[in-house]
A = this chain, B = another copy of it.
């Protein structure tokens, strides 16, 4: 060992800068100043303009005393100001706290207090929620009223300054400054726990930078994608895509409301060629009526998470010109950090086999060190047999700093040197992870385990089914029985419960056939995940 490699070879301003996705914005403004960064209705905004507005925002915040490790909360759908906040806020060293706009006022108040919000940006449609939350919380953040978003009345807010007036206070030539340390916090995102108070996931500049690049590799993204914002940016910072798009000179197409017609319009009118969405959004796209559908000549690539795409949905998407990539992750790992990496030879498989392969969650992102299935007791890998159940665990640079002001939860989450997802899964012989039901999603009927996912997959094969979720319903005789909640396709509303049960009998073991079938829309989270706990309550009350 030679000491020569340790001598006179230190970090200097020439050869070391903290990793931060902010660097991508500065570069985008240099390399693609005139290219469109944002489309929102009739509005077009270039990278040069976006950079100047983000610097104005940073400058205005700093002039109000906001800086390193302060918190700037945002209540907004996918509007330009939300995109700008992803750069303008961390440019000051402050932490972006994008809040789920579908939470109740009490929870928002809890978040503003717990996250110690120093400023709060609010759009029209979130004004009423913000006003109510501000009444209930102790913090008195600077309120910035953003005249963007769907309908609503900004006047209900307490004393506030308009977003454009606020930007006018700022300097468009505000110095570009990287964080002091790449481990500095960049964002705070509260997980929507179904019990107790939400936990605040703290992420850092280094991880955001790496996952911005990780998305490029996971999705084979080329330059200048036209990215449609179906996924809310308040969900894990839009899986880091605001920063990915700056790295690639891509265009963000805003879509304040996720509706089939608006999605087809963005594809046909703006050439949108990429979006991220829960499978339920895929169902919405496929179920669009003739008045909403629009023809388009390019392939649209879709990244989907939350539940594996059923074979029927996959086939229909392919026929309709969409190419689906299946990913998996959590807020704690910056959004997806596992991808069902597609092996070229799988293209030769029949559809059912392709769907089976694609339903698996997959392998770690290139920028995540590992994602595997461990026995949580022994912390040893389960056999790679596709059958032995264990807990999915991850580790590496796109894992959160931890939970804000919750050292016990952080320690627990990181016990044994791995992030414990709480999700159950198996490891296949080829190294791909597949989730199995969380224990509470397993239906135990007459002592037999029934996978709700398996029943859902079967029911998706029925031509009238647009969406389905299966949960346990308490039963005196069997303990539990499967209960199916189904949304029918437009024009197929005459389908009966008997039709569904008859179909299930042909495709499932007898004990797995739903005893109860309920038609109607499914309750969902803001990110399109079906809220099974609500369905379980409904099933219990039937």
Contact = CB atoms under 8 A, between A and B. Distances in A.
A13 interface: yes
Nearest to A409: B8
B31 A363 contact: yes
Contact of A70 (B1, B33, B183): B1
Interface string A382-398: 00000000000011110
Contacts of A363: 27, 30-31
Contact of A69 (B2, B419, B431): B2
Interface residues of A, number: 73
A2 to B, nearest CB: 5
A312 interface: no
Given A70-B2, A366-B247, A11 B183 contact: yes
A536 interface: no
A399 B15 contact: yes
Interface string A401-427: 110111100100110011100000000
Interface in A368-385: 369
Contacts of A290: none
Copies in the complex: 2
Nearest to A399: B15
A202 interface: yes
Nearest to A369: B17
A161 to B, nearest CB: 22
Interface stretch (A216-224, A456-464, A491-499, A523-531): A216-224
A9 interface: yes
Contact of A414 (B15, B19, B27, B399): B15
A226 B419 CA distance: 36
A202 B15 CA distance: 12
A542 interface: no
Contacts of A366: 24, 27, 213, 247
Contact of A23 (B33, B369, B417): B369
Contacts of A413: 14
A12 B414 contact: yes
Given A15-B397, A33-B431, A396-B17, A5 B217 contact: no
A367 B247 CA distance: 9
Contacts of A402: 8-10, 15
Given A30-B363, A216-B216, A1 B68 contact: yes
A116 interface: yes
Given A183-B11, A369-B17, A69 B216 contact: no
A5 to B, nearest CB: 4
Contacts of A1: 67-70
B400 A15 contact: yes
A19 B16 CA distance: 14
Given A217-B248, A414-B12, A419-B14, A4 B405 contact: yes
A395 B15 contact: yes
A431 B396 CA distance: 36
Contact of A14 (B2, B185, B418): B418
Contacts of A430: 33
Nearest to A224: B344
A69 B224 CA distance: 42
A417 B13 CA distance: 5
A152 to B, nearest CB: 30
21 contacts: A1-B69, A2-B69, A2-B116, A4-B116, A4-B404, A4-B405, A5-B69, A5-B184, A8-B410, A9-B185, A9-B402, A10-B402, A13-B418, A14-B413, A14-B414, A15-B397, A15-B402, A24-B366, A213-B213, A216-B217, A217-B248
Which are the 5 A-B pairs with shortest beta-carbon distances?
Answer: A13-B417, A8-B407, A15-B399, A9-B401, A14-B414
Interface of A: 1-17, 19, 23-24, 27, 30-33, 67-71, 95, 116, 183-185, 202, 213, 216-217, 220, 222-224, 247-248, 341, 343-344, 363-364, 366-367, 369, 394-397, 399-402, 404-407, 410, 413-414, 417-419, 430-431
Given A15-B396, A24-B366, A216-B216, 16 more contacts: A1-B69, A3-B69, A5-B202, A8-B407, A9-B185, A9-B401, A9-B410, A15-B414, A17-B395, A27-B363, A27-B364, A33-B430, A213-B217, A213-B367, A217-B248, A247-B366
